[in-house]
Structure 1
Amino acid sequence: MNTLPEAQPAPDRYAENPLDAYSRTVIRVAETVTPHVAAIEVTATRRNGQVRIGGGSAVVFTEDGYLLTNAHVVAGASAGRAAFADGTRMDIDIVGADPLSDLAVLRGRIPTPAPALLGDADQLKVGQLVIAVGNPLGLAGSVTAGVVSGLGRSIPTAVGRTRRVIEDVIQTDAALNPGSSGGALADAGGRIVGINTAVAGVGLGLAVPINATTRRIIAALLTDGRVRRAYLGLVSTPVPLSEPDVLRTGQRRALRVVEVMAGSPAETAGLHAGDLVLSAGGRPVASAESLQKLLFADAIGVPFPLAVLRSGTVLEVLTMPQELTDAA
């Protein structure tokens, strides 16, 4: 009788196969990160009781049971439930949400699994391996892998009745689907470098970075349940400076003002579309994120100088940021 040969161990020559190394990395990160990621369902109070209004994923990030997810996942919700890969299930409370960063903080009512290790998205490079862990389409503990496709992207969002932009998001080709939102984007070391936030198209996912700015946002949500921000009222985009302007200013990049909002502090101060913002509050700015991280509560109502390049001349423009509201 013919019998199938028994499976044999792979020859040593495959041990250094790059694809095997890639697989080992993804497996290691999946095993590291998955226990910290929950599938969540959120509910709202209606006249007929608690009604499920949505779901997604969340990541444990503190020893005392706080979880990080997307603001849009919990929008309109009053409570919810979380389920982990080890079978742990619990009710969760919504501590706070910040639609402008699309981040929200939750807390479990009973002890959660251990927290994930947070990384620093500012260290990411385009082309770097990243692994997404979440619960797309209700499929708990799903893992996909890809690369960082782009950095510093922007996506539109709604804050109250106003359309705004979430700046500095990570673009990845790791497959994301509905339910992935709020899940973890990890680097090859298993550190959480982003919170998956949106699917922008086939092969194009986006994640909110974990960096110094978002850590400040998370801290505000933990303590106050909200984030107070200063508002200038300008839309900008990073641009390289010409060589004459580099010699004139001593820096290679600036923020080009694309639009100035009517009635805003930027308009009152005399900023115009086409101005090049070199520094804010005495600090060089070369990205929208570098400007935004200066515009938190401590900047509200405080004179805020901008160095602006206009028609070859460097000007100082003194602005007075207002508190950002739905109407601003």
Structure 2
Amino acid sequence: MDKIRHNLFQQVGDFPPASVTNGSAAHPDAGEPDADLLDAYSRAVVRVVESVGPAVVSVVVGKNLQGRRGEQMGAGSGVIVAPEGYIMTNNHVVQGAERIEVRAADGTAFPARLAGADPATDLAVLRADTGNLSYVSFGDSRALSVGQLAIAIGNPLGFDSTVSTGVLSALGRALRSRDGRLIENVIQHTAPLNPGNSGGPLVDSRGRVIGINTAIIPMAQSICFSIPSNTAAWVLPQLVADGRVRRGYLGIAGQSQPLERSLVLALGLTGSRAVEVVSVNRTSPAGRAGLRPGDLIIAINETCVGCVDDLHRFLATWPISEPATLTLIRGRQRIMLPIVPVEAVACPATG
């Protein structure tokens, strides 16, 4: 019997205490004891919650019911990004809201109004009728690494100030917003989210907001997504100033594609990726300029283009109706095409 027990222990890797005499040899890279590592992890999470928690709010919205009395209630999360009362959340949390109320972590409730929204990135900014609030700062989402600690704070299913932790499981994901536009560079993480977490912050171990939680995959295990902080920081001032993000429109649908190494060397290109034109609206600026499906856009003016997000960023800052020049590869030739972007009214395509 003892021999059977010994063999069983060996098979499952569970040895009796007498057999564990040289744990450091089995794990030569082990440094701190597990208890110390756990304490360090706990201290990091506690510090973040103490510093960021007061800036996380619950967003409660009311939507009038058509043809009936009363209101349909919805709820999400938000994070205060300026002491004057500016709060960032998801557009889908407040879309169609007739009434918005914000509740702080200490239970204080105050009314808020929509300052601006950008359905293309599923972000919105609220303005609360109060000031001198605790607020957060954004981190640099370009500096993130897969595997690093991620902390989500929000109000899932009505449970206020709920904290969950995980790691960044992937970077550079693409996610479609509810208006069909592709959101690039989305963060995938394992900090558990539930309905009500939408609009709350994803935070790193230093208490910097690295993302705005926006979506989960139903019936999956810890596959959660956040809009990166750099996108949020880019959208925020435009929503505060104008209530929307003004974007130029080319009239194409495109996707990022790697370039063949031989092509990069032959044409002396500086980048290794391009935006492949998938379809072209014939009556759009792109159609009038002569773009074709299969063209590979590598630059617009002097700005290198490696993904659709690069086009979006350029078009958001380039003056509407101001001529620009597209550099593209057709076949194995470099071509320059003049193009005049127009203002996108309803973001009908990816560029």
TM-score, normalisation: structure 1: 0.88
Partner SS for 1:26: helix
Compared CA separation, residues 318 and 108, structure 1 to 2 (3 A): same
- State the match for 1:240 in structure 2: 258
Q: Does 1:34 align with 2:53?
A: yes
> Displaced runs of 4+ in structure 1, greater than 6 A?
47-50
- State the match for 2:190 in structure 1: 173
Match of 2:40 among 21, 40, 47: 21
- State the match for 1:195 in structure 2: 212
Match of 2:164 among 144, 152, 158: 144
Matches of 2:41 and 2:48, distance apart in 1? 11
Partner SS for 2:178: strand
Matches of 2:127 and 2:72, distance apart in 1? 18
* Counterpart amino acid of residue 42 in structure 1: V
Q: Does 1:321 align with 2:336?
A: no
Partner SS for 2:82: coil
1:233 positional shift: 2.2
- State the match for 1:107 in structure 2: 127
Matches of 1:315 and 1:171, distance apart in 2? 37
Match of 2:245 among 227, 234, 244: 227
Matches of 1:99 and 1:24, distance apart in 2? 37
- State the match for 2:203 in structure 1: 186
1:84 positional shift: 1.6
- For the Cα contact (< 8 Å) 1:149–1:172, is it kept in 2? yes
Matches of 1:43 and 1:165, distance apart in 2? 28
* Counterpart amino acid of residue 344 in structure 2: L
Matches of 1:196 and 1:79, distance apart in 2? 22
- State the match for 2:290 in structure 1: 270
- For the Cα contact (< 8 Å) 1:79–1:94, is it kept in 2? no
Structure 1 residues 200-209 or 182-191, which shifts more? 200-209
Q: Percent of aligned positions with the same letter in both sequences? A: 40
- For the Cα contact (< 8 Å) 1:45–1:78, is it kept in 2? yes
- For the Cα contact (< 8 Å) 2:168–2:187, is it kept in 1? yes
Q: How does 1:53-64 map to 2 (within 5 A)?
A: 53-64=73-84
Partner SS for 1:296: helix
1:63-91, Cα deviation, whole Å (9 max, x unpaired): 11110001110000133111122222211
Matches of 1:327 and 1:223, distance apart in 2? 20
- For the Cα contact (< 8 Å) 2:88–2:123, is it kept in 1? yes
Match of 2:327 among 295, 301, 307: 307
5+ residue gaps, structure 2, are 1-31
Q: Does 1:87 align with 2:87?
A: no
User: In the comparison of the two structures, how many residue pairs are matched?
Assistant: 313
Larger radius of gyration: 2
Partner SS for 2:47: helix
Q: Does 1:122 align with 2:142?
A: yes
1:221 positional shift: 1.0
- For the Cα contact (< 8 Å) 2:181–2:347, is it kept in 1? no
1:12-42, Cα deviation, whole Å (9 max, x unpaired): x648743332222222212221111001101
More strand by share: 1
Partner SS for 1:277: strand
1:231-270, Cα deviation, whole Å (9 max, x unpaired): 1122222232222122122322222223333432222222
Structure 1 residues 47-56 or 199-208, which shifts more? 47-56
Matches of 1:272 and 1:149, distance apart in 2? 36
Matches of 1:214 and 1:280, distance apart in 2? 23
- State the match for 2:223 in structure 1: 204
* Counterpart amino acid of residue 236 in structure 1: G
More helix by share: 2
- For the Cα contact (< 8 Å) 2:138–2:233, is it kept in 1? no
CA RMSD, 1 decimal: 2.2
Matches of 1:199 and 1:319, distance apart in 2? 38
- For the Cα contact (< 8 Å) 1:70–1:104, is it kept in 2? yes
Matches of 2:172 and 2:290, distance apart in 1? 27
1:59 positional shift: 0.3
Matches of 1:116 and 1:266, distance apart in 2? 41
Matches of 2:147 and 2:273, distance apart in 1? 23
Partner SS for 1:55: strand
- State the match for 1:281 in structure 2: 301
Matches of 1:54 and 1:210, distance apart in 2? 25
- State the match for 1:9 in structure 2: none
* Counterpart amino acid of residue 210 in structure 2: V
1:141-198, Cα deviation, whole Å (9 max, x unpaired): 1111112222222222333xxx322222211121111100000011111101111111
- State the match for 2:63 in structure 1: 44
Matches of 2:251 and 2:227, distance apart in 1? 22
- State the match for 1:250 in structure 2: 270
Matches of 2:234 and 2:69, distance apart in 1? 36
